């Protein structure tokens, strides 16, 4: 069934667009001839941004047919779709809007470039900042799926491994859409395949999805952090602002996974030095397990954030969640569908990270 929407994009449409990497842009020239081309894109609010990038082309980016067309006739259409051999999983989303060029040197242009670079790591090295960006102000959308309006299955990013590693980003703002338990368990299952000392898997997970438990955890951690920030000499206003921002990250995430260190199954040594090394190995493997979960979440259309706050208040987290004493909270992973694309932090050049190579 095809139907129009009162709002330009609902949560389902936003989640679908955010999880896809390629759209088809349709324009029409001044002689009514249609033109269709695949494009990269970034979504924010009710606008889609398209780069005029440096991939091989026979003409300058501003002389591309799509650009000439949208200057002459700004009304455009973009189509994003999923094709599967199982036709019950077919679906597509079509959006209409009015296109315009954003020239370099403006705040809107800088923001658009940042959004595109956050979504596509390839653009971090590609000189797109000196080219105009196409902005499509969305006016309406339509979507279709075999299963009607339900769209029950989670969106999966069709990415190779390199794209998953480079595409994963740290998200702080999520849509209210719940994460299906089956998808959470896929993410948790990925942790089981991380390397660990002696294959003992010295980590356990507490999954928090109910608002009441998230509130309890956020309030308990917030009180402890407030005390620690006061010890650091922070002002009352800054403490209140940082505390609320941190609590909101926990409350508003559809799913929180508290990653706990579990040392009961590890080897025991008579000397403290080796015992400390054994624990350090476990901590290293905990990081590998968490990374497996974040990469898997990204592959399946989710986004995540990594909060280290439990390291600073493990007893508080353990008490709020009624965890046994053998569990040592080390990290909190927030999972959900990104409400907007975050601005990616720059990575250090590789040659600054290699200290010796011979």
pLDDT in tens, 286-331: 999 999 999 999 998 899 999 999 999 999 999 999 999 999 999 9
Radius of gyration of the chain measured on its C-alpha atoms: 24
- Distance of alpha carbon 114 from alpha carbon 120, whole angstroms: 10
Q: What is the pLDDT of residues 91-111, one digit of tens each?
A: 899 999 999 999 988 889 999
- Distance of alpha carbon 220 from alpha carbon 314, whole angstroms: 11
What are residue 80's DSSP bridge partners? 93
CATH class of 181-336: alpha beta
Residue range(s) of every CATH 3.40.109.10 domain in the chain: 181-336
- Overall pTM surpassing 0.85 (yes/no): no
- pLDDT for 4: 43
Instruction: Spell out the alpha helix ranges (H) of 142-271.
Output: 161-167, 181-191, 211-231, 236-252
Query: Which of 327, 293, 294, 292 is closest to 310 using CA atoms?
Result: 327
Place of tokens 């309890």: 216
Q: What is the DSSP letter of 149?
A: T
The residue that leads in pLDDT, 295 or 117, is 295
CATH number assigned to the domain covering 3-158: 2.30.110.10
Q: What is the pLDDT of residues 20-55, one digit of tens each?
A: 889 999 999 988 999 999 999 999 989 999 998 766
- Which of 55-59, 205-209, 352-356 has the largest mean confidence? 205-209
The residue that leads in pLDDT, 57 or 160, is 160
- pLDDT for 57: 60
Q: How confident is the model at residue 218 (pLDDT cuts 50, 70, 90)?
A: very high
- Residue 264 structure tokens: 């009961």
Beta strands per DSSP E along 52-128: 75-82, 91-102
- Residue 31 structure tokens: 């002689």
Three-class secondary structure of residue 157 per DSSP = coil
For 263-267, which contacts have Cβ atoms below 8 Å and span 24 or more sequence positions?
Answer: 263/202, 263/326, 263/328, 264/326, 265/200, 265/202, 266/197, 266/198, 266/200, 266/202, 267/197, 267/198
- Distance of alpha carbon 41 from alpha carbon 93, whole angstroms: 14
Query: Which of 69, 82, 72 is closest to 23 using CA atoms?
Result: 82
Residue range(s) of every CATH 2.30.110.10 domain in the chain: 3-158
What are residue 332's DSSP bridge partners? 258, 307
Three-class secondary structure of residue 125 per DSSP = coil
Q: Cβ-count burial of 218 within 10 angstroms (0-12 exposed, 13-18 middle, 19+ buried)? A: buried
Residue 220 has pLDDT above 60, yes or no: yes
- pLDDT for 5: 41
- pLDDT for 151: 64
Q: What is the DSSP letter of 30?
A: T
Is residue 205 within 8 Å of residue 258, measured between CB atoms? yes
Residue 3 has pLDDT above 50, yes or no: no
Chain-centroid distance, C-alpha 160: 16
Q: How confident is the model at residue 219 (pLDDT cuts 50, 70, 90)?
A: very high
- Residue 268 structure tokens: 């025991």
- pLDDT for 221: 93
- Which of 88-92, 173-177, 295-299 has the largest mean confidence? 295-299
- The mean pLDDT value of the chain amounts to 89
- Residue 135 structure tokens: 């902005």
């Amino acid at each position: 069934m095809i139907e129009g929407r009162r709002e330009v994009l609902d949560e389902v449409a936003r989640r679908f667009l955010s999880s896809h990497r390629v759209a088809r842009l349709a324009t029409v020239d001044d002689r009514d001839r249609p033109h269709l081309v695949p494009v990269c894109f970034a979504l924010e609010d009710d606008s889609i941004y398209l780069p005029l990038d440096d991939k091989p082309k026979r003409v300058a980016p501003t002389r591309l047919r799509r650009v000439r067309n949208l200057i002459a006739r700004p009304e455009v259409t973009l189509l994003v779709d999923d094709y599967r051999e199982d036709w019950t999983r077919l679906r597509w989303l079509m959006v209409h809007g009015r296109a315009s060029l954003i020239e370099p040197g403006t705040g809107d242009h800088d923001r658009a470039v940042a959004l595109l670079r956050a979504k596509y790591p390839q653009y971090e090295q590609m000189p797109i900042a000196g080219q105009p960006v196409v902005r499509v102000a969305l006016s309406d959308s339509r979507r279709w799926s075999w299963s009607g309006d339900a769209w029950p299955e989670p969106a999966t990013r069709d990415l190779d491994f390199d794209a998953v590693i480079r595409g994963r980003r740290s998200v702080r703002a999520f849509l209210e859409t719940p994460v299906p338990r089956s998808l959470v368990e896929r993410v948790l299952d990925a942790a089981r395949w991380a390397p660990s000392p002696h294959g003992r898997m010295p980590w356990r997970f507490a999954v928090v999805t109910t608002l009441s438990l998230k509130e309890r955890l956020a309030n308990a951690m917030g009180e402890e952090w407030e005390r620690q920030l006061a010890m650091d000499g922070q002002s009352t206003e800054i403490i209140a602002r940082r505390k609320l921002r941190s609590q909101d990250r926990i409350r508003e995430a559809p799913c929180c996974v508290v990653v706990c260190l579990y040392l009961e199954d590890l080897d025991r040594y008579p000397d403290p030095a080796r015992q400390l090394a054994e624990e350090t190995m476990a901590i290293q493997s905990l990081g590998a397990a968490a990374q497996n979960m974040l990469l898997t979440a990204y592959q399946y259309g989710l986004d995540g954030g990594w909060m280290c706050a439990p390291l600073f208040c493990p007893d508080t987290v353990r008490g709020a969640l009624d965890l046994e004493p053998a569990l040592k909270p080390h990290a909190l992973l927030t999972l959900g569908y990104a409400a907007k694309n975050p601005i990616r932090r720059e990575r250090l050049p590789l040659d600054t990270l290699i200290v010796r190579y011979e």
